[in-house]
Chains A and B, each alone.
Chain A
Amino acid sequence: MKCADIEKHLSAYIDDELDAPIRLQVANHLSECRHCSEILESLEGVASIMGAQTTVHAPADFLDKLHERIQTESSLKKFFRRLFVPFKIKIPLEFATTAALCFLIFFVVNTSQQIKEVSLPVSKSAPVESAEKRAPKTDTELLIKDEAKSEPVMYKAMPQPAPVRRKVTIELVFLMPPKGLDHFRRGASSEMEVAAEYDKQVVPVVKSKQHHEPSQLKALPLSSGNVPADTAVGRYGSEPEKMRLSEETILKKESLATVSFAEDIVTRVKVLVAQVDGIILSVDDDDQTGSPRSLQVEIPASVYEYFIQQLHQIADFQTPPFEKFSTNPETIRMIIRFVRDSAQ
């Protein structure tokens, strides 16, 4: 046998735990191998020293202390048993703990799922909508083509929609003819005459819709900037033919005052707004030319489609207006801007 094999048996050789044949082989090897003999000697020394250590006794009061602890633990067990077995129903503490833990995990998981559902954002494909009570110019969702800067039309990232939408703001852009061609009536004596023509076309009866109260007709100062909010003038379901006739009539009359397209559109929009029981909020004029630059109106959402149809007949849009809204607003605020069409 080699030394490596012999070394494995040295401990057992010391302890007399080897079978006779193996023991003989080890003994023969040890008589010839000094290296293994030295190892044997050191191992015997270790065993001897370890064996010579005196026994460490338990303290004298070991048994008394043991009885005290047994008593304490028995009392605790009885207490827990009474706590969980009020009507002699055995509910192990481990089971109760596991059940409580499962309930807690279930509650936490369910709560976190509800939180995730509430905080999911609205997709970007939703139509442009704004939150209530925003300044008209600052809360514009659509950036229109700026005639001065020629920036492309682009969409802003959709803001987080409010859970309940009562009002929606949209922006429409009317294309105006280029400079020099934006005044279509030549030779008009005064603007008031133009206004008078329109006044004639206004029928002093308002048929209210289901949710609108009939209101008294008032002569609407159509050439003025603002209209009182609660004034409803005009006929519901305006007749495009009469409006056009009015326009034709105006065109034929060379004596009519020079009026810009923008002013004309503003007038027509005002009439239309009155017809649908809307409100003219403001008219913004250009400081230099005095021509209207934008117009802000508010109409009931129920008449939106009709309103857009009528607007189509008044002028061309730069971009098509929204046809539908994903939410059900009550009112729709429109910012109508007039942009010079550079393509013409």
Chain B
Amino acid sequence: MIRAFCGGDKHAFDDLVKKHQDKAFNLCYWFLGDYHEANDICQEIFIKVYQSLHRFRFESAFSTWLYRVTVNRCKNRVDSLEYRYKKWMGRLDGVKEPHDQDAFELADQSDSPLRELENKEQNRLIRKAINTLPTDKKTVVLLRDIEGLSYEEIGRVTGLKVGTIKSKLFRARLALRKKIIGLG
């Protein structure tokens, strides 16, 4: 698809987006803790992909490159003044407005309304717990436990050594256990 896009096939880019948008969006959502922030950042990420795709050298998998761009963008966003202000004001809590309920789509629609509500509440609490982690530990635990990347793949995305990843992951999970262990 990348070669087709570089060859001038604009529709190849659409296929690429459809294939990878949920991965990127999901990571952005858990990283930033807010649906609308995730939407905004994810758009920026794919605009960046659109502008830079012709420079892609196939030295790594496209997904690795995409994750790398996503993590960097999310880190920059977290450090931004606007985000920190919103967090301080308590406006980053996923779905708060009634009209946003429909925009928030969960993969599993088979649960009962009560179960769905419980899932959403659990989701909110987990996001809140993850947001308390430092950025480096948050990155590692999300790539491993949410996105399911191996330690090696995490290393290619973040540039960290495997030993460092193990250490950070252990500490991140240790920090989270007190906050979310009762939710299972």
Contacts and interface: CB of A to CB of B under 8 A. Distances in A.
Contacts of B123: 53-54
Contacts of B105: 56-57, 59
Given A7-B170, A8-B167, A55-B107, A62 B180 contact: no
Interface stretch (A43-51, A130-138, A183-191, A292-300): A43-51
Interface stretch (A9-17, A107-115, A170-178, A205-213): A9-17
A73 interface: yes
A157 to B, nearest CB: 52
Interface residues of B, number: 47
Given A17-B151, A59-B103, A47 B145 contact: yes
B10 to A, nearest CB: 10
A43 B178 CA distance: 10
A42 interface: yes
Contacts of A62: 17, 21, 25, 39, 42-43
A58 B21 contact: yes
Nearest to A50: B145
B181 interface: yes
A163 to B, nearest CB: 51
Interface string B1-41: 00000000000001001100110111001100001001100
Given A9-B166, A63-B17, A66-B17, A46 B180 contact: yes
Chain A binding surface, main DSSP class: helix
Nearest to A10: B170
What DSSP secondary structure best describes chain B's contact surface?
Answer: helix
Contacts, number: 113
A70 interface: yes
B75 interface: no
B117 interface: no
A124 interface: no
Contacts of B141: 50
B2 to A, nearest CB: 17
A47 B140 CA distance: 12
Interface string A17-57: 10000000000000000000001001101111111111111
A15 B25 CA distance: 24
Given A51-B145, A63-B17, A63-B18, A42 B177 contact: yes
Contacts of A312: none
Contacts of B73: none
Interface residues of A, number: 33
Contacts of B97: none
Given A11-B169, A50-B146, A57 B180 contact: no
A82 interface: no
A45 B30 CA distance: 19
Interface in B36-69: 38-39, 42-43, 46-47, 50
28 contacts: A8-B166, A9-B166, A11-B166, A11-B169, A11-B170, A11-B173, A42-B181, A43-B173, A45-B177, A45-B181, A46-B173, A47-B173, A49-B183, A50-B145, A53-B146, A54-B107, A54-B119, A54-B123, A55-B22, A56-B22, A56-B29, A56-B104, A57-B105, A59-B105, A63-B14, A69-B43, A70-B47, A70-B50
